[in-house]
Amino acid sequence: MKLFDNFELEPFPEPDLIRLKYPVLLCHGFGSVTSLLKPTPLFEVCLLMRRHGVVAFAPNIVPYATIETRSEEWIERIRTLTDRYGFEKVNLVAHSMGGLDLRYVISHKEIRERVASLTTVATPHHGTSLAEWILDTPELVLDKLGEFFNWFGNQVYRGHKSNSLEAVRQLTRNNVELKFNPETPDPKGVPLFSWSSAVGKGTDWPIQALLKYQNGIIYENEGMNDGFVSAKSAVWGEHLGTTPLSHLDQLMINTSGERNRMVSEFWLRLLYTLQKQGF
């Protein structure tokens, strides 16, 4: 009989159905290098959610631009989805810089009546020392890097023009703590949740070789981090937990086997939390 143990049929073999009151709009962060690999940075995450019955969308916006510019496009995406499909509201789930974009949106724009909740994942709510390290690059090299990423951004996205260096300047700890946060108060009526991540130095979890150097830089300045954002910086609103996933893991970039299972479980846990909260 043991020969057939692996062939035993499950009563319900399909993915669990997760029923949310409102659809999910996934909002990506800074950059567009992943556009060389997939249609949008959060594409696989969106498909995972759809496989579990969740109405989810993961659109693109201008990849290398300021919070103000990016926010204009997120507002357009929210309006398009709610008008096209008749949604009353959407759950915003924002990764990295996308969380700052959406905090700006719901704080300053008359769009919040269409927003049920905002959940941020590895968002630099208190800035990131990685941005400061980038800006410390010799001026000539920094200018060339800025020109390249602006050119690349403008090739893959023809909407707003990219402005990569100004976007990086907005992500420094001083700018976020002394300017963005005081000028971006949390609005009433939109619940805010956050997830942080920590891998590599200071943890028991490995990090991709590609992120080891910057993982160490951020650790020396801020402590445990995911290779882009420290665990402390990612805390805002109701903090729901710290995951053992790198910034790239969260986007399902080059994950497989056990790691892929962990990433999928995290995103499903996020959905179950929204379900439990009634969103």
Is the CA virtual torsion 68, 71, 76, 82 positive or negative? negative
| Pick from 199, 191, 210, 275: nearest CA to 242 | 199
Quick one: pLDDT at residue 9? 80
| Pick from 162, 160, 165: nearest CA to 142 | 165
Mean pLDDT in order along the chain per 10 residues (279 residues):
66 88 97 78 96 97 94 96 96 98 92 96 98 92 86 80 92 97 93 97 93 96 97 98 95 80 95 96
Count the helix, strand and coil residues of the chain and give each as a percent rounded to the nearest 5. Answer: 50, 10, 40
Quick one: pLDDT at residue 1? 52
Quick one: pLDDT at residue 203? 96
Quick one: pLDDT at residue 25? 98
Q: Is the pTM here over 0.85, yes or no?
A: yes
Say how far residue 51 (Cα) sits from the centre of its chain.
20
User: At 161, which amino acid appears?
Assistant: K
83 - beta bridge partners?
none
Is the CA virtual torsion 37, 253, 72, 142 positive or negative? negative
In whole angstroms, give the CA distance from residue 28 to residue 40.
8
Residue 86 φ/ψ region, left for φ over 0, alpha for ψ in the -120 to 50 degree band, beta for the rest: left
